[in-house]
Homo-oligomer: A and B are copies of this chain.
Amino acid sequence: MRKEPRQARSRATVEAIVQAGAHILSDEGWAGFTTNRVAELAGVSIGSLYQYFPDKLSLVDAIRHRHLDDSIAVMRKIRADGISPAEFAAQLVRAVVAAHSVYPGLHRVLLDEAPSSEEYRNPSSAFEIEYLSYYAEAVATYRKRQPNPADHASARVISDAIDGVIHNAARRGAIDDPAMQRELVRLIILFLGEPG
């Protein structure tokens, strides 16, 4: 950030810019993401955008940062211990679906298309590690043992599988399809249920 917004008015401006950016990334992908279009959709002049973001990349990073932090936060609310696999799976799917309801394509674009100065895409990024350890924890819980390095492969596969189902549903504009959600829940339950 080039300058910190001090007044309420400027904080609203920054917020509008971030929202508009997320909207465009989700709908048009990285190719449609130009600073001028973001400013226009935000209802703000291009000059204002550059008042708070030194360049285009810093804007993407801000959007990414916020989105990934939100994703983690939503997921962390659902802990595996104390509830059945079925309950866990149902809650998890509900949360993931909700997280993709606002900007369905955003997650995919941020991870696959958009370049980043910080290395979020790196397998060893803080985000990836936290994301993965969450699933590893759930796997370990239902296999009734301590978190195990061998569970990491399981964690990665179930995490990527969920990602794929959600991402493709989002692309078809069908994240709210109940049949899809039901089957996804079933998939998770089965995978978590039986030991490797």
Contacts and interface: CB of A to CB of B under 8 A. Distances in A.
Interface of A: 29-31, 108, 112-113, 121, 123, 153-154, 156-158, 160-165, 167-169, 171-172, 177, 179-180, 182-184, 186-187, 190-191, 194, 196
Contact of A113 (B29, B184, B186): B29
A157 B183 contact: yes
Contact of A163 (B30, B164, B182): B164
A160 B156 contact: no
A68 to B, nearest CB: 16
Given A164-B167, A183-B196, 13 more contacts: A113-B113, A123-B172, A153-B179, A153-B182, A157-B183, A160-B168, A160-B169, A161-B162, A161-B187, A162-B164, A163-B164, A186-B191, A190-B194
A77 B187 CA distance: 26
Contacts of A157: 165, 180, 183-184, 187
A157 to B, nearest CB: 4
A61 B142 CA distance: 46
Nearest to A122: B172
A186 to B, nearest CB: 7
Contacts of A154: 183
